[in-house]
Amino acid sequence: MRRYETVLIVNPDLGEELRQPVFDRIRELIPQKGGLLVGFEEWGMRKLAYEIQKKPRGYYARVDYCGGGELVNEMERQFRIDDRVMKYMTVLLDPQADMERIQEEMAQNVKALAESGDRTESAASSAAAENKAADATIHDDETVEADKTEIADEALDEKEES
């Protein structure tokens, strides 16, 4: 299999509800033709280097995928038919892409994102607990111990909920 990247520019006058079917069609087409969608990025509205169809701006998207020549031909055929797509360009990234290795990398990336999300949540709850402790009014040693216990319990409850 080969690895490709396609950048497309969609008509900027379209709303989200008219733009999404174009992107959904791409996401459906890749597995139908035996390919693998590696990544899909919506870059958003950007100024064009030159006007296309008398429009100075366009909505950009980037598709990273693995597949064969038939997949690329079908995608480009769909882009030519669809008036919502103003321009597109496909580039060959790797002529001998290893799909198993790419799938492993994707799984590792998902796992790393999940772990970093867990760390962020636990750090945020710890910081919130520390802020509550700093803001507490301390009158005597018994109040301090009671406040610490209460804050620790709240932090544990927040962690269990997430």
| Percentage of the chain lying above the pLDDT 90 cut | 55
The CATH number given to whatever domain includes residue 91 is 3.30.70.60
108 and 136 fall within a common domain: yes
**pTM for the whole thing?**
0.66
> In the predicted model, what is the mean pLDDT of residues 49-70?
94
87 and 106 fall within a common domain: no
Say what the pLDDT of residue 126 is: 52
35 and 78 fall within a common domain: yes
Query: Could you tell me the residue range of the domain that residue 140 belongs to?
Result: 102-161
Say what the pLDDT of residue 118 is: 65
C-beta of residue 55 within 8 angstroms of C-beta of residue 4: no
60 and 43 fall within a common domain: yes
Residues pairing with 2 in the sheet: 67
Structurally, the chain folds into a number of domains equal to 2
**pLDDT tens sequence across 65-121:** 999 999 999 999 999 999 999 999 999 999 987 878 888 888 888 888 888 876 655
83 and 142 fall within a common domain: no
38 and 68 fall within a common domain: yes
Other Cβ atoms within 10 Å of 66 Cβ, number: 22
More confident residue, 19 or 159: 19
79 and 116 fall within a common domain: no
Domain boundary among the residues 97, 115, 134 is at 97
Domain boundary among the residues 97, 117, 146 is at 97
Helix segments in the chain, DSSP class H? 16-32, 69-81, 99-135, 141-161
